[in-house]
Amino acid sequence: MKDQILNKTFFVRSVMALTAMFLMFSFASFAQSEKKYIRQGNREYEDNKYPESETTYRRALDENNESRDAVFNIGDALYKQKKYEDAAKQFIENHNINEDKGKKSESLYNLGNSLLMANKLQESIDAYKGSLRLNPKNPEAKYNLAYAQDQLKLQQQQQQQKNDKNKQDQNKEDQSKNNDQQQKTQPQDQQQQDKQQGISREDAERVLNALENDEKNVQEKVKLAKALKERVRTVKNW
């Protein structure tokens, strides 16, 4: 009975040892495959075969989904293909999975370059600043940061000029509309004035006519009175 227990224990230990050896062998095999694909991808990258290098780096990532080098190199390959936003995602991921300050700084530096090329100037400035906080001695990061800041300032000035021009154009358009409206309404106003003036002239003419009529009436009355007087004088008595 005791021998059987010992034999079973020995068997379990043997299985565990074999399992550990298998896992170590598998891990070593995966690591070798990962490094093999990364080396191959690097050769393709140096030969300017960027789409091919991206594919090869992704194979390395398939072998080890925690491969920091594979993630970083995929970002470089995408950058060379001008897929800047996709490259930025790779550098962000690489920054998040890295613990080494130098590697994190490099990730942020490349992130800044990708965002700069994508014309995301403020985001690129933030990335360069983050890279310099981790590695203040990086001259390329300092230069690119200054360049991105200048570009952002220029962009803001151009936008302000554009806004001012649009505002001026809008003011001119509004003034033109007001002038057109005034021209449209002016004849009506003039007609109204003429109408009012016409009424006044008519009234004046009626008043003058009435006065003239009255004067004529008076004259007629005077003449008639004189005629009556003369007639009376000449009339004989009966």
Among 46, 45, 73, 81, smallest CA distance to 57 is for: 73
Evaluate if residue 5 carries a pLDDT over 50. Answer: no
Q: Are 65 and 97 in contact (CB under 8 A)?
A: no
pLDDT in tens, 79-124: 999 999 999 999 999 999 999 999 999 999 999 999 999 999 999 9
Q: Could you say which of 1.10.3470, 1.10.1740, 1.10.220, 1.25.40 is the CATH number of the domain covering 1-81? A: 1.25.40
> What residue spans define the domains of the chain?
1-81, 82-158, 199-238
CATH architecture observed for domain 82-158: Alpha Horseshoe (1.25)
The pLDDT value recorded for residue 20 is: 47
Query: Is there a shared CATH topology between the 1-81 domain and the 82-158 domain?
Result: yes
pLDDT in tens, 140-198: 999 999 999 999 999 999 999 999 988 888 888 888 777 777 776 665 555 555 455 54
DSSP 61-83: HHH-TT-HHHHHHHHHHHHHTT-
Q: Is the pTM of this model over 0.75?
A: no
DSSP state of 210: H
